[in-house]
Amino acid sequence: MVKNILFVCTENSARSQMAEAFFNHYNRNPEYVGISAGTKPASEIKELAIRVMKEKGIGMEGQKPKMLDLDSAFGAYRVYTMGCIKGCPITPPEKTEDWKLEDPAGKLIEKFREVRDEIDAKVKELVKELSVK
């Protein structure tokens, strides 16, 4: 049975989408799959998020913002919030970790790159940790 690694941010339009894309790009263990959701999903992924991910050679075509629901939150193997833990009351505390990432929304592309690189490093660490289990 596949174990979902759930990444959550408010709009599911930048940080959590980047985390999902990085996880599914790096992960080679078929036991895990990265998914993402938001508490107040936007209508589409932010253009700057798509652009900075393309700079790393990772496309996010086909990804759409999705609503966080109880099934995905409680059914996930692990949950990572992007800095919005207070706004995610339905995530189970025993398997939720907040990565405390700044929201780049409304900021310049440099902030999107900075946040992208933080997510990249955290996801690489997570994939390495999961591959040891």
Q: Which of 45, 53, 84, 85 is catalytic?
A: 84
In tens, the pLDDT along 44-77 reads 999 999 999 999 999 998 899 999 999 999 999 9
pTM: 0.95
Counting the structural domains of the chain, the total is: 1
Alpha-carbon gap, residue 133 to 57, rounded angstroms:
28
In tens, the pLDDT along 89-113 reads 678 889 999 999 999 999 999 999 9
Which CATH number covers residue 80?
Answer: 3.40.50.2300
* Active site (annotated) includes residue 9: yes
Distance of CA 70 to the CA centre of its chain: 17
Return phi, psi of residue 87, to 5°.
-90, 5
Task: Tell me the one-letter amino acid at 127.
Answer: V
| Residue numbers of the domain that contains 80 | 3-132
pLDDT exceeds 80 at position 84: no
Three-state DSSP at 73 gives: helix
* Active site (annotated) includes residue 31: no
Q: Which of 37, 52, 73, 88 is catalytic?
A: 88
* Active site (annotated) includes residue 88: yes
Q: Which of 6, 9, 45, 73 is catalytic?
A: 9
